[in-house]
Chain A
Amino acid sequence: MTHINIASLEVGQVIGTSEFLLTRDSLVRYAGASGDFNPIHYRDDFAQSVGLDGVLAHGMLTMGAAVQVAVDWVGDAGKVIDYGVRFTKPVFVDAKDGAVLVVTGKIGEIDAENGEVRVDLTATFNETAVLGKAQARVRL
């Protein structure tokens, strides 16, 4: 059980917004934690050699940070039972300034019978959406 009363929720309701500062340090930390050491995530020269403008964040880091908005709302990471995204745009991470990811969660669907809610997440970088169809099903 959580503190959220499903009967009080409405589709379209905003459940939270967070900003995440992704720096090169964040990328190195994620590389180590996840085991994804693709050099496009920490070497400008390598990123440019494969035709990218520069180092970009791991899509899985963007996905992992975005869902925190739903986790913070429900209060328990174990309540997110189904989570999917499409990776639509890269997040370029400036060596000095990093990149700011802005994530907003809204109620997309309410399944009162099963006590489940679908949270629709939007994640933007430089005012452009970087995830598509980012949906987290949460058990209340």
Chain B
Amino acid sequence: MVNPNVQGKKYPATNPYLVGREKIREFAHAVKSTNPINLDVFAAQAAGYNDVVAPPTFAVVIQERSLATVLNDPEADIDFSRVVHGDQRFIHARPIVAGDELVSVLEVASVKTLGAHSMVTFETKIFAEGDELVCTAISTLVVRGGE
């Protein structure tokens, strides 16, 4: 059972994550993108970007770094072996581009209990240098109760 008292708890900003060009290409291939904007620097620059653009779900890599902090927080008491991903959303103020240095700040938006299960919603704000908001990632995990 997830501790309902962590609703509203904010976790400190993660260490900066430098978005690499090859990491974007690797992730793009993994999600089966063939979009030149993800893969080809010249195509991305012709479209007005500084470098290759990350696929729309790449922000999950940054979100995971914040989530790891929560999953290791004894106060939250989340049993990762019982976690199922319920839903996910990424709201982009602008796309993530190779060369970005990103930090994320996570807040536990809500903790709900449904019978033996808990539903925890996390809101992770991802910032580039100069506190520029790039993306808000919203994730709900379902934590199955014990048998």
Contacts and interface: CB of A to CB of B under 8 A. Distances in A.
B95 A78 contact: yes
B30 A77 contact: no
B88 A68 contact: no
B77 interface: no
B114 interface: no
Q: On chain B, which size bracket covers the interface?
A: 35 or more
B88 A77 contact: no
A65 B54 CA distance: 13
A71 B56 contact: yes
Contact of A75 (B35, B85, B90): B35
Nearest to A50: B81
Nearest to A135: B89
Interface residues of A, number: 34
B75 to A, nearest CB: 23
A68 B60 CA distance: 16
Interface string B50-81: 00011111001100100000000000000001
A82 B35 contact: no
Interface of B: 23, 26-35, 37-38, 47, 49, 53-57, 60-61, 64, 81, 84-92, 94-95, 97, 138
